[in-house]
Chains A and B, each alone.
Chain A
């Protein structure tokens, strides 16, 4: 069985500050890991994903995440927050080799202060 833990439900940063959204996972097999963003009244949009290869993955809008197997983590970062980054962010895991069923965390709401 897989699970995803996103600690805290809300993160607030100042515009231009570092964004760090934490994600830890549990999986009995090698995981595929994803970050999705959801803007109000919109569907989920893929930010980035890790499947195999380089453990530091870059996504859209300047976001990146690093897969750390020893820490079972896949934290999302962005060096400088922009007002348009305010949204809800979901970390998700799926099992390598299986169908693409995703298990999501509860999500984190990111607020950006002017």
Chain B
């Protein structure tokens, strides 16, 4: 597709349930990012991939959060044993190369509500 595609767009999970959020970056984009946006806040960095290598995971809030990009294209963000504080919009973004200043393109986000 022309843009960054995320699925599902909306997910309601019961507390304790595991969820998986998928991101299809723009074709050919080397860099992929995940951000978390809580209600009324700006996006906060979670993790960064360059091709299949996860170069920065400093923003992952706990060991319940795990991200992968095994073939350097599609990425999955997995949240285990979801908690209410995990409710947020999860944004995926991609860019052509990894150097700073390059334009980053964002998807529409996956809205997660934990009940």
Q: How many residues of B contact A (CB 8 A)?
A: 29
Q: Mark A36-55, 1 if CB is under 8 A from B, else 0.
A: 10000111111001010000
Residues B70-107 near A (CB distance < 8 A): 91, 93, 95, 98-107
Q: How many residues of A contact B (CB 8 A)?
A: 28
Chain B residues with Cβ below 8 Å from A98 are 100
20 more A-B residue pairs beyond the given contacts A99-B99, A100-B31, with a C-beta to C-beta distance below 8 A: A32-B100, A36-B106, A43-B4, A43-B106, A43-B107, A46-B103, A49-B101, A51-B101, A94-B100, A95-B100, A96-B101, A100-B99, A101-B33, A101-B45, A101-B56, A102-B35, A102-B104, A104-B44, A106-B40, A107-B40
Q: Does B68 contact A (CB under 8 A)?
A: no
In the complex, number of A-B residue pairs with CB atoms less than 8 Å apart: 72
Q: Does A97 contact B (CB under 8 A)?
A: yes
A104 and B102 form a contact (CB under 8 A): no
Using a CB–CB cutoff of 8 Å, the interface residues on chain A facing chain B are 4, 9, 32, 36, 41-46, 49, 51, 90, 92, 94-107
B100 and A97 form a contact (CB under 8 A): yes
13 example contacts (A-B, Cβ-Cβ < 8 A) are as follows A43-B4, A43-B106, A44-B91, A44-B93, A46-B103, A51-B101, A97-B99, A99-B98, A99-B100, A100-B31, A101-B56, A102-B45, A106-B42
Chain A residues with Cβ below 8 Å from B101 are 32, 49, 51, 94, 96, 100
Assembly CA distance A95 to B100 (angstroms): 7
Closest A-chain residue to B47, C-beta based? A101
Closest B-chain residue to A36, C-beta based? B106
Residues B18-63 near A (CB distance < 8 A): 31, 33, 35, 40-45, 48, 50, 55-56
